[in-house]
Amino acid sequence: MSALDALDERQRQAASVLRGPVAVLAGAGTGKTRVITHRIAHGVDTGAYSPARVMAVTFTAKAAGELRGRLRALGVEGVAARTFHAAALAQLNFFWPTLAGQPAPSIIDNKVRMLGQVADAIRLRPSTATLRDIASEIEWRKVSMLSIEQHATLGRSVSGVDATQLAELQRGYEALKDERNQLDFEDVLLACAGMLEAEPRVAASVHEQYRHFTVDEFQDVSPLQNRLLELWIGDRHDICVVGDASQTIYSFAGAEQRFLLEFERRHPDATVVRLETNYRSQAPILSAANALMKGRPGALELTPAREQFATEPPTVTAYDSERDEAEGIAASISAQIAEGISPADIAVLYRAHAQSAALQQALAAEGIATTVLGGTRFFSMPEVRQAILAIRAAAVAPVEQGFVPAVQRVLRELGLTEEPPAAGGAQRDGWEARRAILRLAEEAGPEATLRSFGDALMARAKDQHEPTMRTVTLSTLHAAKGLEWLHVHLAGWAEGALPISYATSFESIDEERRLAYVGVTRAARTLSLSWSRSAGRGERAPSRFLAEIGTTGRGTGILRETPPLASRGTRPR
């Protein structure tokens, strides 16, 4: 069976071109990861690629782990599927001892602490929050490839720290790092790029090692990452980039969609394939998404591939207050669960972390457990670490009652009960985590043993392949990118919240629009949007994006608005 057999016509077209520059413009839900992995597998199967000569670059360790896992499932081992930083750090650690005669510098784990020490030395007293903002500004400067002097000419200030003080802080920060022989996260990319530029033998070695490059989420590359990529490739042209300009939501961190949008101009011989068949969402949801991005640079026109279910168009509900909104969303989710929908298939997405507290409280009041993305990762939870250690320890003794009962016994000894604790606390979080491990055991197959299961859990932890928790997911729009749920509730679609209050320029409003687009395209079956008329003592208007969806949908009933709520506690009709 060919690696191309499981692909549709456009996907097959993208995966079958193995040489020369290739740009895959992949809309939300169009199967970009499938294309990436099947293209590499096809190259290996046909002998065009040697796995050890392939580098697949992405932006998160979780995404890199998913790439490795999917390639393994296709029978491909040995491909370097890494983040930009992991690939650069590996090269630094390999070449630095030869070039400098000593190990590579260590990586600092906390910019804020070091910046605080520098601030004390120059008699500044910024708050911890301000120091975090300064750290973010340093990161943006470096990935934008600006010197401290160039950055100072921009006149940017941070929370009361003016451009002159900011430059002084940065110079002190760099001097302290040099004194301690340390690098920060961005220095890893800068140092690797500098090494490749200054040392021809290093560049030649890297060019010999890696012949074929694939870059996922190419709309998110920064100038520094793009420069490093160019140095890795050298004078070759075997590069495949995959991305969607409509999902550029990290401009604040230095991402520039122009590298994707201008790829064809910079590579006139490039093969460009547009993936616009969406395998995730129902047609009314895609209509809303298309309306949001109509006329925007690089926008794709998504069309549904799935069989259409009997679903209503997305709905908009207006509430009197944020508390009403949280309670209304919780009541709607409670009704969905009562209808038989699994909590794991439901998500509530919002613009800012601060919005999660009221939602957690309202859902807990309904007895609904939640998982907040961006919180403690599954395999970092003490209950999970404890369970893995206990399962591996139990593997030493003979198992008499069978594999699944043995896992169940271990988890019961650690606190797993038949009935869950009340929602909204650490005890319930731990219970849900242990229950997820038991479900993995039940799905492990007849050949599983405690030893093999413990090893499998360790491998999942390494790849950050987290199991599905049977909880409702709460997430910011940023953290939700790349994920999907059957039923999505989008909260806080009001002016000042989405777009957020400090987004005032055309570019920043466009970034907020792309965030809205990401939120809409996370939904497969149903989509509910809501907003509140007041926040504290201030009055709010509905988000301009609601009007755009409604007015650019050519009157097709993309959205219907429910009447205002009379008072707090009233449920939406």
519 is written with which tokens?
Answer: 């939120």
What would the pLDDT profile of 404-429 be if each residue is shown by its tens digit? 898 999 999 998 888 888 877 778 88
Residue 557 reports pLDDT greater than 50: no
The Cα-based distances of 422 to 143, 285, 432 in angstroms read: 45, 34, 11
* Pairwise CA distance, residues 358 & 367, whole Å: 14
Q: Consult the annotation and say whether 26 binds a ligand.
A: yes
Q: What is the per-residue pLDDT for 554?
A: 34
Provide the percentage of residues in the chain whose pLDDT is more than 70.
94
Identify the three-state secondary structure at position 417: coil
Identify the pLDDT of residue 138: 94
31 carries a ligand binding annotation: yes
Strands (E), 321-378: 346-350, 370-372
Q: Is 33 annotated as a binding residue?
A: yes
pLDDT of residue 310: 56
Rounded CA separation 185/190 (Å): 9
State the chain's mean pLDDT as an integer.
Answer: 89
Per-residue tokens: 6: 């499981």
Q: How far apart are CA 205 and CA 467, in angstroms?
A: 39
Residue with tokens 């670490």: 385
Residue 32 in marked binding region: yes
Q: Can you list the alpha helix ranges (DSSP code H) found in 154-184?
A: 163-180
Burial class from Cβ neighbours inside 10 Å (0-12, 13-18, 19+) for residue 201 reads: exposed
| pLDDT score for 109 | 84
> How far is it, in rounded angstroms, from Cα 353 to Cα 562?
26
pLDDT-based confidence at 549, cuts 50/70/90? confident
Q: What is the mean pLDDT of residues 102-124?
A: 90
Q: How many helices (H) and strands (E) does the chain have?
A: 23, 19
DSSP annotation of 218 reads G
Residue 298, classified by CB atoms within 10 Å of its CB into exposed (0-12), middle (13-18) or buried (19+), is middle
Q: Which is more confident, 441 or 571?
A: 441
Determine contact, residues 155/163, Cβ cutoff 8 Å.
Answer: yes
pLDDT at 309: 60
The pLDDT, as a whole number, for residue 462 is: 80
**Which residue carries 């009935």 as its tokens?**
419
Cα–Cα distance, 178 to 174 (Å, whole number): 6
Residue boundaries of the structural domains of the chain? 9-88+190-275, 107-180, 284-374+473-561, 378-463
- What is the number of other CB atoms lying within 10 angstroms of the CB of residue 551? 11
pLDDT band at 553 (very low <50, low <70, confident <90, very high): very low
pLDDT of residue 306: 66
pLDDT at position 178 is 93
The pLDDT, as a whole number, for residue 61 is 86
- With the C-alpha atoms ordered 309, 313, 318, 321, is the resulting torsion angle positive or negative? positive
* From 77-86, 233-242, 306-315, 362-371, the region with the lowest mean pLDDT: 306-315
406 is in an annotated binding site: no
pLDDT band at 465 (very low <50, low <70, confident <90, very high): confident
Q: Give me the CATH topology for the region 284-374+473-561.
A: Rossmann fold (3.40.50)
Residue 155 CB: number of other CB atoms within 10 A? 10
Helix or strand run (H / E) with residue 458: helix 450-463
How far apart (Å, rounded) are the C-alpha atoms in residues 534 and 512? Answer: 21
Report how far apart, in Å, the C-alpha atoms of 143 and of each of 151, 227, 229, 251 are: 12, 10, 13, 11
Bridge partners of 83, per DSSP, are 58
Residue 13 confidence (pLDDT): 94
Q: Report, in this order, helix, strand and coil percent for the chain, each rounded to 5.
A: 50, 15, 35
Decide whether 9-88+190-275 matches 284-374+473-561 in CATH topology: yes
The pTM score is: 0.86
For a pLDDT cut of 90, what percent of the chain falls above it?
65
Give tens-digit pLDDT for 129-142.
889 899 999 999 99
For residue 484, how many other CB atoms are within 10 A of its CB?
17
State the Cα–Cα distance between residues 508 and 517, nearest whole angstrom: 14
pLDDT tens figures, 244-258: 999 999 998 899 999
Lowest pLDDT segment from 292-296, 383-387, 420-424 = 420-424
28 is in an annotated binding site: yes
**Which has the higher per-residue pLDDT, 464 or 201?**
201
CATH architecture of 107-180: Orthogonal Bundle (1.10)
Residues 6+ apart with CB under 8 A from 339: none
Q: What is the CATH number of domain 9-88+190-275?
A: 3.40.50.300
pLDDT for position 88: 96
Please give the Cα distance from 516 to 525 (Å, whole number): 17
Confidence band (pLDDT; 50, 70, 90) for 307? low
Taking residues 26-31, what's their average pLDDT? 95
pLDDT of residue 567: 37
Q: What are phi and psi of 380, to 5 degrees?
A: -95, -5
